[in-house]
């Protein structure tokens, strides 16, 4: 199934509220957050052999990568918002 079909309701809602670009980025952030939750749950069972209080090194790399991707997406969303919304103006759609 295509992601546009699978997340149709979320995409429509976010695109309506934020515009197409920011709406799709918002849904992407939600997907990345869901992935982080799953990796975090997996990390409970796959701990580092050197430090039992930390996830395995491969899971740490995945978590760091997804968190970095989320930060980049958030920065793009902020740039789009600031370009579309000047001080005292309404958002353009």
Instruction: For residue 47, list its beta bridge partners.
Output: 55
3-state SS, 17-80, equals HHCHHHHHHHHHHHHHHHHHHHHHHHHHHCECCCCCCCECHHHHHHHHHHHHHHHHHHHHHHHH
Looking at residue 65, what is its pLDDT? 93
CA distance 34 to 18: 21
Looking at residue 72, what is its pLDDT? 96
Question: Tokens 């079909």 sit at which residue?
Answer: 5
Looking at residue 56, what is its pLDDT? 76
**What are the 10-residue block averages of pLDDT along the chain, 93 residues in total?**
92 94 95 92 76 78 93 94 70 52
pTM: 0.76
Looking at residue 13, what is its pLDDT? 96
CA torsion, points 4, 69, 33, 43, in degrees to nearest 10?
130
Looking at residue 91, what is its pLDDT? 54
Looking at residue 87, what is its pLDDT? 60
Looking at residue 79, what is its pLDDT? 92
Residue 2 backbone phi and psi in degrees, to 5: -70, 145
């Amino acid at each position: 199934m295509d992601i546009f079909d699978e997340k149709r309701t979320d995409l429509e809602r976010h695109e309506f509220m934020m515009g197409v670009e920011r709406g799709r980025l918002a849904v992407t952030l939600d997907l990345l957050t869901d992935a982080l939750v799953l990796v975090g749950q997996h990390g409970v069972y796959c701990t580092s052999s050197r430090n039992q209080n930390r996830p395995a090194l491969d899971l740490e790399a995945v978590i760091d990568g997804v968190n970095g991707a989320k930060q980049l997406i958030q920065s793009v969303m902020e740039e789009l918002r600031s370009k579309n919304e000047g001080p005292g103006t309404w958002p353009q759609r």
